[in-house]
């Protein structure tokens, strides 16, 4: 592994840790603003590697850098029929015991002067803001990172091509048979551009009498000319030349269709020279963000199926698709691949690196919004349910309900936690034995 790859891995690891740290700050800041007592702010899990106490909060790093947490006192309300200082032990059932143990652990953190500083006593909208603060921080960070790339480097989905010929096709192969033909032109007709004498480096100035200055104009002029013999004016070595090309109809990939779709259109047989990516303004960036969020959410909805693919790749020798999720280990390896890839220029390395970090932040945010404990969305769902109950009580003039007891959902939370740990272990193993390869 070369030095650039190592640097890429380290930089991406640092980027992910900063993203996790900012996620937890998204919880920490509103919690402190609303008067909730926060005893710990930690990056990672397991044994504490380093920590410092500032006021009532301990800040530090844990040994396993796979996440982070903010510990707030009083996450669970007293058991029904009890109070903050006296918890009723009403059942010895497994699930009830889980909830009771969690309440007891929560109660032990509450000091004699902390009665109004516990999480469960805060009004529902404050709870909601605290729990959504983390995902919101990741979404903002993702938009800032992606927006910086879109407005400086340009939109990777909008390449701008100069009307200078980069490649001249030797023959005409239908798009539906391109894979079978490969680079062999035997048996296929010569491309019109090759027959006309067009060379790489020629700048196309006009097609069939229509002046052109951009590649889209070249494409439109070729399509409008149809299967006819047309004049192609090019600039070569500072001089203009007029060449005659006999355009033909050919199967080409449909740029507006699904992968594999083809259409029949006029064909010349030239490829343009890449110039740069089109830069977006603020409005364009915001418009792009909607699709960014939608695409990320759609990708996450396919995670169950993708995990089956990961299993097959890890234990069945199947090819690992670039569409499968990766762990922090896999993400770091991809960061190293980007940093050391000869295919990328320096600017492309930075842009690809930053866009991937933006994608991870968006994925972290949307994943945490899933309304299941122990994810942030589970606590947020509890706050919303509490708002519904209070509104119902006001409308029907009933007594104000008690805070929603999310401790009752702890058995489900433990189950979700086991699934998440299993997924993480599978992804890490797959990323070690059969990693995703960004560049093939």
What pLDDT score was predicted for residue 347? 78
**Nearest of 337, 358, 339, 361 to residue 348 by alpha carbon:** 339
Q: Give me the pLDDT at residue 115, please.
A: 78
Please report the pLDDT score of residue 109 as a whole number. Answer: 74
Respond yes or no: is residue 251 known to be catalytic.
no
Residue 92: what pLDDT? 47
pLDDT at 177: 65
Check residue 93 and give its pLDDT: 53
Q: Average pLDDT of each block of 10 consecutive residues along the chain (440 residues)?
A: 70 86 95 94 92 94 87 80 45 55 68 84 94 95 94 89 90 68 71 91 93 91 90 93 90 64 81 88 91 89 88 87 82 76 73 88 91 88 92 90 79 84 89 78
pLDDT score recorded for residue 179: 60
Q: Could you give the angle at which helices 282-301 and 303-315 cross, rounded to 10 degrees?
A: 60
- Distance, in Å, from the CA atom of 70 to the CA atom of 92, rounded to the nearest integer, reads 30
CA–CA distance, 272 with 167 (Å, rounded to integer):
7
Q: Are 19 and 65 in contact (CB under 8 A)?
A: no
pLDDT of residue 85: 47
Quote the pLDDT of residue 100: 64
Domains of the chain: 1-37+73-158+281-440 (no CATH), 159-277 (2.30.42.10)
pLDDT of residue 387: 93
Question: What distance in Å separates the CA atoms of residue 193 and residue 126, rounded to the nearest whole number?
Answer: 67
Residue 48 pLDDT: 93
Task: Write the CB contacts of 363 (distance below 8 Å, at least 6 apart in sequence).
Answer: 296, 299, 300
């Amino acid at each position: 592994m070369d030095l650039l790859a190592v640097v890429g891995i380290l930089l991406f690891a640092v980027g992910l840790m900063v993203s996790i740290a900012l996620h937890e700050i998204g919880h920490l800041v509103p919690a402190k603003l609303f008067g909730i007592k926060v005893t710990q702010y930690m990056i990672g899990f397991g044994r504490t590697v380093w920590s410092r106490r500032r006021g009532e909060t301990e800040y530090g790093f844990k040994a396993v850098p796979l996440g982070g947490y903010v510990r707030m006192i009083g996450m669970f309300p007293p058991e029904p029929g009890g109070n903050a200082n006296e918890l009723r032990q009403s059942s010895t059932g497994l699930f009830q015991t889980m909830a009771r143990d969690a309440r007891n652990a929560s109660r032990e953190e509450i000091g004699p002067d902390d009665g109004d500083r516990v999480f469960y006593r805060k009004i529902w909208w404050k709870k909601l803001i605290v729990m959504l603060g983390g995902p919101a921080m990741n979404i903002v960070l993702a938009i800032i990172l992606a927006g910086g790339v879109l407005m400086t480097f340009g939109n990777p989905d909008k390449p701008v091509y100069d009307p200078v010929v980069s490649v001249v096709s030797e023959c005409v192969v239908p798009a539906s048979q391109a894979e079978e033909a490969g680079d062999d032109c035997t048996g296929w007709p010569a491309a019109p551009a090759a027959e006309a004498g067009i060379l790489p480096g020629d700048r196309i100035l006009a097609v069939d009498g229509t002046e052109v200055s951009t590649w889209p104009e070249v494409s439109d002029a070729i399509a409008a000319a149809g299967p006819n013999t047309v004049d192609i004016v090019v600039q070569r070595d500072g001089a203009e030349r007029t060449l005659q090309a006999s355009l033909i109809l050919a199967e080409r990939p449909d740029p507006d269709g699904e992968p594999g779709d083809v259409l029949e259109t006029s064909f010349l047989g030239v490829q343009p020279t890449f110039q740069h990516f089109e830069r977006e303004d603020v409005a364009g960036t915001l418009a792009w963000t909607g699709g960014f969020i939608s695409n990320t959410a759609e990708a996450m909805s396919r995670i169950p199926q993708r995990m089956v693919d990961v299993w097959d790749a890890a234990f069945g020798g199947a090819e690992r698709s670039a569409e499968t999720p990766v762990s922090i280990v896999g993400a770091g390896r991809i960061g190293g691949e980007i940093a050391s890839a000869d295919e990328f220029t320096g600017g492309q390395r930075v842009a690809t690196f930053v866009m991937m970090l933006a994608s991870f932040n968006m994925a972290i945010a949307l994943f945490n919004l899933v309304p299941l404990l122990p994810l942030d969305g589970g606590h947020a769902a509890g706050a919303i349910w509490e708002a519904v109950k209070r509104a119902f009580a006001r409308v029907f003039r009933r007594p104000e309900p008690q805070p929603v007891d999310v401790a009752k959902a702890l058995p489900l939370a433990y189950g979700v936690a086991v699934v998440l740990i299993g997924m993480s272990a599978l992804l890490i193993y797959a990323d070690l034995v059969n990693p995703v390869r960004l560049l093939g």
